[in-house]
Structure 1
Amino acid sequence: MKKLHKYIGTAALAAMSLFACNPLQLDEIIDPNNPSVQSVSNNASREQIQFLITGLESRHRDYVFNVTAAWGTFGREVWYLNASDPRFQTDWLGQSGRVPDRAYFGFGVTGGGSWASPYQAIKQANVLIDAAQNAATLNEADKRAVSGFAKTIKGYQFMIPANFVYQNGIRIDVTDPLKPGPFVPYEQALDYIKSVLDEGDQDLAAAGAGNFPLRLTPGFTGFNTNAALRQVNRAITARLNAYRKDWTGVLSALEGSFMNLNGNLNAGPAHPYGAPPDLFNPIFYVPNALVTTMIVVHPSVLRDATPGDLRVANKFLQRTAPPVTVSTDVGTLVGTHQDRRWASNTSAIPFIKNEELILLKAEAHANLGQTAQAVEAINIIRNAAGIGNYSGATTQAALINEILYQRRYSLWLEPWGHRWIDARRYNKLNEIDVSFDGGTVFTQFPHPQAEVNWDNYIGN
């Protein structure tokens, strides 16, 4: 395990040397011990391809802290209380009339997991695809497997900036970093992402059902065959199709995914973490630590929980140490509960899991008017949480409300910000309670100033 941590840590450092602060720009490599882009793009060795794969896995997790903490704050799943920098409260919560602008705190091209990091992962995936295609050391099946894996990660990563800026649109043509394509509308971006994921699925199918030809980290334990990676691809596609409101597409993708109605709800691929030179789990906090900076459970989540819900007991730790408190423009915010899901600072974080897939099934059936199937899937989640079968109304609106409620607790603080996106998908942002912090719920974000500067520069 120590060798693996050293390997992925080294890969992460090398991946960082491949890309500058501009998430689309490839830089000249000045470290003779790390491969240049040119060297891996022209008949790369098998070891170089392996290095790029591990680097892609490292890039794949770079979004986790910012997206989890910030999007979780926007959806009032959590507060990220930070006594050292009040902007984590005032700006992220939209207090005193603050609104997102192009220089919004924490999301610039040089430091934002919601914008820069996904595009860096996308560029890493593109380099890997090109390197594999031109590598004589890989046979055709191996090339298709590597390409399918890279496109699966690429599709996942494109969904992050798309949901961050929403109707402001994203760039999908980033092949040439010096000539990136125009911003395209949200719906067009989602359709493009669907094509990327479908191509990845086709590549993995063409590679055969055997073992993936190179090494993946323990985050893909149980998913390290081409067939299992196709299941991951289809799971991500099911999430995407829900955003596209393609409900038959959700069900079709779920049929090819790893969804198991009788299986472990936490099953799924994960972002691995480890001791240096690898990274620690970025959302782990020592239980009852006497600190002034911590992600804490939002009070409304505690207030709205169903009595006896096992998810509350399993996910939320009521602090016996003093609460975490910070002062803000509208008064003091107090965090009485913290995240208790992680055993240690090296615990892996699932990035899509069986529980979400079952809830996607329920949502698709509800939107298609298939009431019995929707209730059946809802009951799987409710009974696992120890709160019994659903007994409410079975109108479509009532079922959707129930599903969104279950998603709020089943997917609480997953590395995505589900509640913020879910509320926006169903025009329910105004239902998110801001009474505890006097803030605002944002709908979307503008493009970072650097993106505008780039277009101005090209235009001149």
Structure 2
Amino acid sequence: MKISNKIKFLSILIVLGITFSCSLNEGESLNGPQITSISEGLSRPELPQVVAGILSDMRVDMETERDVLSVLGREYWHLQSSDPGWGTELAAGLLSNASFFINRPYTARYATVKACNILLESLEAESTTTIFSANEIAAIRGFANTIKAHELLSVLNLVYQNGIRTDVANPDNLGPFETYDTALTTIMGLLDSGFTDLTTGGDVSPNTLGVSYSEFNRAIAARVAAYQGNSAGVLSALADSFMDMNGDMNSGAYFRYSAAGADVLNPLFIALNSGDTGAAIAYPDFIEDPSAPAFEAGDNRLDKVVARSNFPVQLELAGMAGAYDVWIYQSSTAPVGIIRNEELLLLYAEASMVSDPDGAADAINAVRSAAGLLPVVSGTVDEDRIIFERRYSLFGEGHRWIDMRRFGRLTDINQDHDRAGDLSPVPSEFPIPQSEGL
């Protein structure tokens, strides 16, 4: 079943005045009697509901995506007795097109894309253009294209060279699969047009990210430019982002959680010393192996893991024993970073290491100072340094597998603690989900 045939999307339930997501089964209408679509026009009361709903939908199955990326990058093992596939399939490198490891985040991200497309469609309606000014419509369009670009990039990061569909606005006439490089270009185009619109129209309400939508747009654009190997593009985007050389490493854009009302709790929060019902165990060489290339004593970024008081039995039996819990999120309402100042500084250093060695060192040293480490000397920032700092600064945030792949160094991921039979090196991409019928 293709993504157009079964997909969650954002709609407005006018009677109750709330937003929600639903699953569409084969042949079910997007405009069924239980919902009223906004595609034929958007009202002012509906706009904040739609925006809040899209931001909420971005969080759906985010935890699956983060855990999958982290396991593949050998940042941590995810233990789940209810689904041993985390060890027998994912950690083993057996990436199936039928597994939930790809299907759940794939479907969730395209659901948000669908919501953005419905919002964009509503902007073409005469009733919408009568209610909203041209600048307001530009702001809404900029928001929708920015979020759409982020979601498409998330899918592309999983399937890599297998490519993605970027044109899914018409479920009866889906666009073709684009190659990795072409899809990056398309995503950057969405970000650039979105930034132009946001510059014209300003921010949209509500905004719970923590930075303006235009700053978020440019931060994601810098990430995309880095994937493209476009250093000038990275620096240009960062100039209009929230990057601050003297700022807090943790400032940036976040997913928010709470125990209030119909909101949800942080699904990545796992209590310390959890057993086989759910645990995230740091890959041993993150902290235990001083001889490993990526280790530096005194680094306070090591506080992202905490020594366990016991080992879960199933983990040991599976051959994946570790002594440290992942402890990035220390409460069930802790926010989850989408993109932070620390990543932007590291992108700046990466983009500047050839053209501006002093600037690259300044950015690296801002990160290292915050980590309690001594500075590096100008001219010594190279690919190895970037990989080293990114591993510790962005631990558990879904970057290491992508980073090692884009630098052509998947074979450098330490698999010394893997089990006999696990694939080495780790695979580079997921297959296109079976639901696409390919």
Q: Which ranges in structure 2 are unaligned for 5 or more consecutive residues?
A: 1-11
Q: Secondary structure at the match of 2:281?
A: strand
Match of 2:101 among 76, 83, 106: 106
Q: Secondary structure at the match of 1:251?
A: helix
CA-atom RMSD, angstroms?
2.5
For residue 341 of structure 1, report the CA deviation from its aligned partner. 2.7
For 2:323, the equivalent position in structure 1 comes to 336
CA distance in 2, matches of 1:27, 1:229: 28
Q: Is the 8 A contact 2:269 2:332 kept in 1?
A: yes
TM-score (norm 2): 0.88
Is 1:27 the counterpart of 2:30? The answer is yes
CA distance in 2, matches of 1:13, 1:402: 48
Q: Secondary structure at the match of 1:42?
A: coil
CA distance in 2, matches of 1:327, 1:350: 28
CA distance in 2, matches of 1:288, 1:327: 12
For 1:427, the equivalent position in structure 2 comes to 408
Deviations 1:61-100 (A, max 9, x none): 2241111100100000110012232211111112xxx532
Is 1:452 the counterpart of 2:433? The answer is no
Q: Secondary structure at the match of 1:16?
A: strand
Matched to 1:282, the amino acid is: P
For residue 284 of structure 1, report the CA deviation from its aligned partner. 0.2
CA distance in 2, matches of 1:413, 1:163: 15
Q: Secondary structure at the match of 1:46?
A: coil
Match of 2:236 among 252, 256, 276: 252
CA distance in 2, matches of 1:238, 1:343: 29
Change (3 A) 1:13 1:312: farther
CA distance in 1, matches of 2:153, 2:21: 22
For 2:120, the equivalent position in structure 1 comes to 129
Q: Secondary structure at the match of 2:333?
A: coil
For 2:271, the equivalent position in structure 1 comes to 286
CA distance in 1, matches of 2:33, 2:338: 34
Change (3 A) 1:116 1:403: same
Q: Which ranges in structure 1 are unaligned for 5 or more consecutive residues?
A: 1-6, 454-460
The residue correspondences of 1:17-416 to structure 2 (distance < 5 A) are 17=22, 19-20=23-24, 27-31=30-34, 35-37=35-37, 40-94=38-92, 99-108=94-103, 112-113=104-105, 115-134=106-125, 135=128, 136-208=130-202, 212-216=203-207, 219-221=208-210, 223=211, 228-275=212-259, 277-302=262-287, 303=289, 304-313=294-303, 315-320=304-309, 322-327=310-315, 331-366=318-353, 368-391=354-377, 394=380, 399-414=382-397
Change (3 A) 1:452 1:213: closer
Change (3 A) 1:232 1:105: closer
Matched to 1:433, the amino acid is: N
CA distance in 1, matches of 2:275, 2:81: 13
Deviates more, 1:352-361 or 1:291-300: 291-300
Q: Secondary structure at the match of 1:443?
A: coil
Change (3 A) 1:213 1:28: closer
Change (3 A) 1:352 1:327: closer
For 1:457, the equivalent position in structure 2 comes to none
TM-score (norm 1): 0.84
For residue 15 of structure 1, report the CA deviation from its aligned partner. 3.6
CA distance in 2, matches of 1:44, 1:369: 48
Q: Is the 8 A contact 2:225 2:233 kept in 1?
A: yes
CA distance in 2, matches of 1:264, 1:333: 35
Is 1:418 the counterpart of 2:399? The answer is yes
Bigger helix share:
1
Q: Is the 8 A contact 2:361 2:377 kept in 1?
A: no
CA distance in 1, matches of 2:267, 2:181: 32
